[in-house]
Amino acid sequence: MRRILLTGVTGQLGYELKLALAPLGEVISASRAELDLSRPADIHQIIEKISPHIIVNPAAYTAVDKAETETQLAQTVNAEAAKAMAEASQNLGASLVHISTDYVFDGQQHTPYTEADCPHPISVYGKTKLMGEAAIQEACDHHYIFRTAWVYGAHGQGNFVKTMLKLGRDRTEVRVVADQIGTPTSAAYLAARITQFVSHLDNPNQPPPDFGIYHLTCSGAASWYDFAVAIFEEAKRLGMPLKVQQVVPITTADYPTAAQRPAYSILSNQKIDAVLGPALFHWREGLRRTLAQLYRSS
């Protein structure tokens, strides 16, 4: 039976991956307590003991602003732990599926980024994730790196959707940045597509996908302001109790943060669509499904 080691199971993507991957084999879920990525020296021994056929690693240091001051911790988790995981995968002959980010780009482009475009991160978080990508590419032959963007889900800790819902319950006016453009991507959709990809890795009836980097998001584009407006529209349609009456668009300069963020980070899905077939799953549909799930569980 295919043995899959899954990290970060308490996170929003890890939770969805645990459910989605279950039909593919034995999923061994590793929480932070069981596989602490802030301690890379322990990773080899832990992974060798589990001896998986496939490792799926959504775990990361994702506190974008905190990373500007917690630089070493971000580098340890996002780069050094990724390297150790890749080395362990190589030793076992296992495939490594790793999740990366649109923040490896600087946002100066005005057309969707492809896998061939040159990364140029402008934050510590983006730089450490790019370091992790490079370490994996060097250490593991069978690597599959998925860059995604603006991920949110019904489970796990805070995300933009949950933050907006809280603000919408507490305030009549919410101010949101309107000059950063990306693609909101639901964790459930992301998990489903990654699982579809993983099912191809050792299928005897077809050749495995080429190793390398893939971009994977929902379709469509939005600013954070557009996303917030949609959250409130869909939440009100469901009957969620909200006080908010007005969403005010502001600029990045109006809302200074410790870390710089790319002004434009749309990712092209053409490469992954060529492998799995086009999904054409719009970000707003993902939002509707997530809000419905949150509403049912409230």
Indicate which residues carry an active-site annotation: 125
Nearest CA among 44, 29, 35 for reference residue 83: 44
Residue 75, CA distances (Å) to 83, 85, 135 in order? 11, 14, 12
One DSSP character per residue, 176-224 reads: EE-S-EE--EEHHHHHHHHHHHHTTTT-TTSPPPPPEEEE---BS-EEH
Q: 76 CB contacts (<8 Å, ≥6 apart)? A: 37, 38, 40, 61
Q: What share of the chain is helix, strand, coil (3-state, %, to 5)?
A: 45, 20, 40
The whole-angstrom separation of Cα 264 and Cα 108 is 7
The whole-angstrom separation of Cα 17 and Cα 24 is 11
CB 35 within 8 A of CB 7: yes
Cβ atoms < 10 Å from Cβ of 295? 14
Reduced to 3 states (helix: H, G, I; strand: E, B; else coil), residue 26 is: strand
Nearest CA among 17, 5, 72 for reference residue 40: 72
The whole-angstrom separation of Cα 46 and Cα 87 is 12
Report CA torsion sign: 178, 269, 217, 212: negative
Question: Starting from the edge strand earliest in sequence, which strands make up the sheet with 143-148, in order?
Answer: 26-30, 3-7, 54-57, 95-101, 143-148, 212-215
CB 26 within 8 A of CB 6: no
